[in-house]
Each structure stands twice: as structure tokens, then as C-alpha cells.
Structure 1
Amino acid sequence: MKQTKVTGRILLIDDDRALGELLEETLTRRGHFIRSALSAPAAAEILHREEIDVVLTDLNMPGPSGIEFCGELQANRPDLPVVIMTAFGSLETAIAALRAGAYDFVTKPVDFDLLGFTLERALEHRHLQEKIRLLKEEVRHRRPGDELRGESPALQTIREQISRIADLDTSILISGESGTGKELVARALHRQSRRAQGPFVAINCAALPENLLESELFGHVRGAFTDARDNRLGLFLEASGGTLFLDEIGDLPLPLQPKLLRVLEERKVRPLGGSREIDCDVRIVAASHRNLTESVREGTFRRDLFYRLNVIQLDLPPLRARGNDILLLAQDFIREMALRFNKSVTGLSEPAAARLLSYPWPGNIRELRNVIERALALTRHDRLTVEDLSDPIGHPRGERSPFSGPPDGDALIPLAEMERRYIRQVLDQVDGNQTLAARILAVDRKTLYRKLKED
């Protein structure tokens, strides 16, 4: 696996001054900031005063042992990873350290490459936990009625564009992949406009057959067709004084497009079977996941209607381009659905959060919502785990069991590739804990570390 250099603030606790100085010098050269203490009480004072990312502590030292100090930290600072150093690398020691809440442990004499690798993983764990904590705070303090969830630069750009154009009483076209939140953007445009006190009316142009869609949009008079038993205003008139959102405008039947164009240009509507036109005061926001320029070129969408709708265009980013917004949205959905299902689920485990961040989300926000809803409905934990996530998120194709046969379309694979896949599978099952993975694989940690470096 290709490693990215991760550095941070490390608190080193060791009563062996010579080893402590060597460790401090070595880790400083690797880019870490080191604070040193000779005992657990001295370390506690440093933690009270300063921000620390990872604790690296000896096992045996005067006063509380490394495992005892780890237990205290787990009770008071569960977000702070602890790596324990010990010259007694027995299985019993490993189990005791892990039960006390240690993130991992290394044996003496210290292999500095292995120690550096372990600390980088602990720092990654710490940083991801901090992201999750900050996102929970963001969810807790979000303003009521804020439709657009997220703080990524891509979404900030959309927010800025909305604030600039919301009061411009002109047509707006929102483009983007399915599930990116086009209706939420339309609602935000309405809420921030001078029309906010008027109605917001939405229709999906792909959801109705042509004859019903025409009546739904423009209305009809009694007797206009067989089932027209009463007069109907139509959505253009119902939205008068507010905003009409035409979703999936690219699927509007070609025969209806000239009539829509006339309404946009004249601001008048003639209901089906009617003898006169009625004034309508409505702002049009349209949206499509299709490339309407291509549709115009193919002759399935009128060029003049496209220009009339596309006065201002907003291009929504896909979820995969929004970084940590994925976790923020997931936390929102967890809170919402935990209330609905009456479950005490509070968030995501660190491996589950990492898996959500690495998945490309072809279905965007809609897919993320469905994944969280399913996971929360089925989970037995207070935090969603990787096992709760549906395929292919929970079990990506490239990380399936090597014994389930080759991936679709692959030939039989070399033994080295099968070994690599199995190592990754075991690491997933133990949430990345290399000590336990090495025990399961019946190899020493140096061998496992070497194989990971080769990956």
C-alpha cells in the first residue's frame, strides 16, 4: 500500500532516558513534534496543558504502568490513540494492552521503521476521529431550514452562486448527476429570493405521460377531455407569486416544448380547452441530469427553449467531489433515522467512515441516504460498522475473499496476488490492527509490515 506521510504531536513516556532521547531524535527527524515525560503523572500534566495526537508509552515504569495509564486515558480521552512499547512481547501482554484500549503495541528492541508505520496509522485514526467529531458538532449547530448540507469548497461555491442570483427574477437551469440534490438547490433559491413568501411548486417532467403532464402544468377547463369534470388551474397558476421547479426538464415531451416556451416568453397560460390566456407571475427553475446541449444537437430538445431556460446555469458537483461532506451527510441521516427507528445509533465507526469516504457514490446523495437507512435499520451496534454497510460499499469487489473465485472478467490470479488479497481481508476484519492480523496470519509483525510495504 502506498503510504502518505502523516505527522503529528506525540507524547513519549519512558523512564529510560537514553532510549527516550533516541526515540525523540528519530521521530523528530520523521517530522513529528515530540513531548517527553518520565512517568504517567508527568504525562498527565502535559496532556492537561497541551494538545496531543498520539501517546507512545513504555509498559513498565515507576508508578502506573503503561497499561494502567492507557486505561485511564480510555476512560477520559477515548479519542486519543495509545501505542504501548514493551520488551515482553507475549500474547498475554498484547491482549492486556488491547483490552485496556491501546490502539496498538510495539516490542523492544524497537524497529524504528515499524514504529513509524504504526504511529502514522494511529495519527490517521486520530485525524479521522477528529473529523467525525467536528462534523457531529456541525450537524448539531446547523441552522434550521438550511437545505444544503455540507462545508466542502465545491458546495461553498454553489452557496455563493445562490446568494448572488436568488433575487434575480430570471430562469435558472440546474445541471448535475442524478441524486446530487437539485431540488434542494431549487428550494434554497426560492427561500433566499423575494418570492420566499409565495408557493414553491415542484413537478418531475419524467413522471407523467404527455397528456396528463400538459394538464398538470397548464390546467384545463371542464369538458376539455373525457375525465375533465372540473376546472383545474395547473401548476403555473398554482405557483403564481412563487417558484415553479421543473425537474428532469430534459424528459419533457417534444410536443409540449413550444407551449412551455410561449408561457416563459409571454407570462400567460392558456388552459386546455380554454378560450383565453391567464397572466401568471412565476419564476422558473429547471433541472436535468441530461446534457441538454447534446439533446439539442440530437433534436430531442428545442434550441430556443434551451436558451430560454439556460439564462443562468448552476452545475452541481457529484458527491465523490465533496470530500468530508460525505461524513457530514451520513451523520445527518443517522440522526434523522435513529429518531424514526427509535434506535440509539450515534454515528460511524472509524473503518466504516473510511469506507464511505473511499466509495465513488455513483448514485450520489440519494444512494448515501439509502445506504445509511438500510444500515441503521439492520445494525445491532451503537455505531454503524463496515459489516452494516451494503455491497459494494461494505465489501468492495477488489477486497472480496480470495477464495470466492476471481473477480468478474479476471483470469486465475497468481499466488502472490491471492496472498495480498487475503492479508487485506484479514486487516479489514480486525479494523486494521496489525498485531492481531499478524497473529491470525501466523507471521511476525516485521513480515506483515514488509508485505504491506510491497503492496
Structure 2
Amino acid sequence: MSRKKTILVIEDDIQYGELLKDALVHFGYDVMLAYSATGGMDIIRQEKLDLIISDINMPGINGFQLAERLLKMFLDIPLILITGLDDLKLIKRALAVGVSDYLVKPIKLDELPVVLEKGFERRRLESKKLQDNKAEILLKALKALMRALDAKDHYTCGHSQRVAALAMLMAEVLGLDAEQKYTLHLGAY
């Protein structure tokens, strides 16, 4: 059973914050609520969050400044900014600082789950891309190391590559899945 996704709502309007919280709880999310960006940052540092919804116009730190701080902290938490102003310049600025989405108040609560799921999916795809990049770098480093070892001894030159190729042929015959093939390929080097 998967855990409920946890969402932080940062909204200085207490009534609107409570309304959002109640709607999100109704949709099955765990929700934390902060009434300022500073309070939100405290929660961000302490809790494992899946998504943040923040008002733009708040006293002190605004939603744009919050987005910039999250980027500096290297947090890949999707951030959705909300505001009462339907202004194209604000939308462009929000997307430029890397937010997942931008919503104009009053939010259509029945459409909220779709927007949230889009944010979760974007995060999942970005994480997968990062993981794939790390795996590719690891494989390249491993191959370079094996070429260096093979080059030291002419007798074993190319041996690691031949073993890896044979291992992949056996994996194909055995019908292994992609992850098992990848693990076998790494081990063959």
C-alpha cells in the first residue's frame, strides 16, 4: 500500500488556506498548512513533502522568493503558485523561476487533483531522467576502467567486453527484464 502524498499549503489568508486544506484532505492527501513563507520554510526543512502550493502575494517572503529559495536548496518538490491576479507577466515569471503550475483564485477545486497529479508526474519524470543519467555515467566510468585494465595486459585485451556481450546474449535467451539485463551487464564487466 502506498503512502498518502503530503502537500504543504502556504497561504496568508487563513480562511482560504483552510478551504484549500479541507478540499485537499477530501481528495485524499495529507495536508500541512502555513500562514507565511517563513513558516512554510520551517515545515519544508523538517518534513518530507510531495508538493507545495503557495500564494504569491504574502507579507515578507513572496511566492517567487520562495521558489528561488527552493531551487537554491536543490529541492525537487513541485511548487504550484496561486494568486488572485490573472496577469500574463506573473504567469511568465512563475514559469521562469521553475514552478510546476500557476493557478488563479478562485481555484476550481474540482480541477485541483488533475493539476496536482500533473505536478507529481513531472517530478517522477524528472527523477527518472536524473536516475537514468546517473546510470549512464556509471556505465561509462565502468567501461573506461575496464578498457584501462585491459590495456595493461595484451592477453586480456577486450576480455571484459567479450564477457559482457556473452552475458547479454544469455540474458536475452533467459528472457530477463531490462533491469536484470542492466545489472548483469554491469556485473559482467
TM-score normalised by L of structure 2: 0.70
Tell me, yes or no, if the aligned pair for 1:85 and 1:108 is still in contact at 8 Å: yes
Whichever residue aligns with residue 52 of structure 2, its letter is V
Paired position in structure 2 for 1:98: 95
Equivalent of 2:31, from 17, 31, 34?
A: 34
- Paired residue for 2:117? 120
> What's 1:170 paired with?
none
Q: In structure 2, give the amino acid aligned to 1:14.
A: E
Local SS of the residue matching 2:174: strand
| Cα deviations by residue, 1:140-192 (Å, 9 ceiling, x for unpaired) | 667947xxxxxxxxxxxxxxxxxxxxxxxxxxxxxxxxxxxxx846337xxxx
Q: Which residue of 1 aligns with 2:57?
A: 60
Gaps of 5+ in 2: 144-162
Structure 2 CA distance, aligned partners of 1:314 and 1:185?
A: 14
Deviation at 1:77, TM superposition (A): 2.7
Q: CA deviation at 1:76?
A: 2.5
Amino acid at match of 1:187: A
Aligned length: 159
Which of 73, 76, 97 is 2:73 aligned to?
76
Letter in 1 for 2:32: R
Q: Are residue 46 (structure 1) and residue 43 (structure 2) matched? A: yes
The alpha-carbon deviation at position 101 of structure 1 amounts to: 1.7
- CA shift, 1:10, in A, is 1.2
Cα distance in 2 for residues equivalent to 1:89 and 1:128 = 29
**Shift of residue 38, structure 1, vs aligned partner:** 0.9
Partner of 2:166: 186
CA distance in 2, matches of 1:186, 1:130: 32
When residues 315 and 116 of structure 1 are mapped into structure 2, their CA distance, relative to the original with a 3 A threshold, is closer
**Structure with bigger gyration radius:** 1
Amino acid at match of 1:132: K
For the aligned residues, what is the CA RMSD?
A: 3.2
| One-letter amino acid of the structure 1 residue matched with residue 97 of structure 2 | A
Cα distance between partner residues in 1 of 2:131 and 2:46: 21
Asked if 1:10 corresponds to 2:7, the answer is yes
Kept in 2, the 8 Å contact 1:39–1:62? The answer is: yes
> Which structure 2 residues correspond to residues 288-303 of structure 1 after superposition, within 5 A?
none
SS in 2 for 1:63: coil
* Identity within the alignment, %: 28
User: Within 5 Å, which residues of 2 pair with 1:140-155?
Assistant: 144=142
Q: Please list the CA deviations of residues 195-244 of structure 1 after superposition, one character each: whole Å capped at 9, or x if unmatched.
A: xxxxxxxxxxxxxxxxxxxxxxxxxxxxxxxxxxxxxxxxxxxxxxxxxx
Gaps in structure 1 of 5+ consecutive residues? 1-6, 146-182, 189-246, 248-284, 290-312, 333-455
Matches within 5 A, 1:331-370: none
Cα deviation 1:8-57 (Å, max 9, x = unaligned): 22111001111111211111121212121111111111111112121100
Letter in 2 for 1:111: K
Deviation of 1:126 after TM superposition, in Å, equals 1.2
d(CA) in 2 for partners of 1:41, 1:107: 22
2:100 and 2:21 mapped to 1: Cα distance? 20
Query: Pick from 311, 315, 321: which aligns with 2:175?
Result: 315
Partners in 2 of 1:115 and 1:315 — Cα distance? 42
- 1:9, 1:82 → 2: CA distance? 13
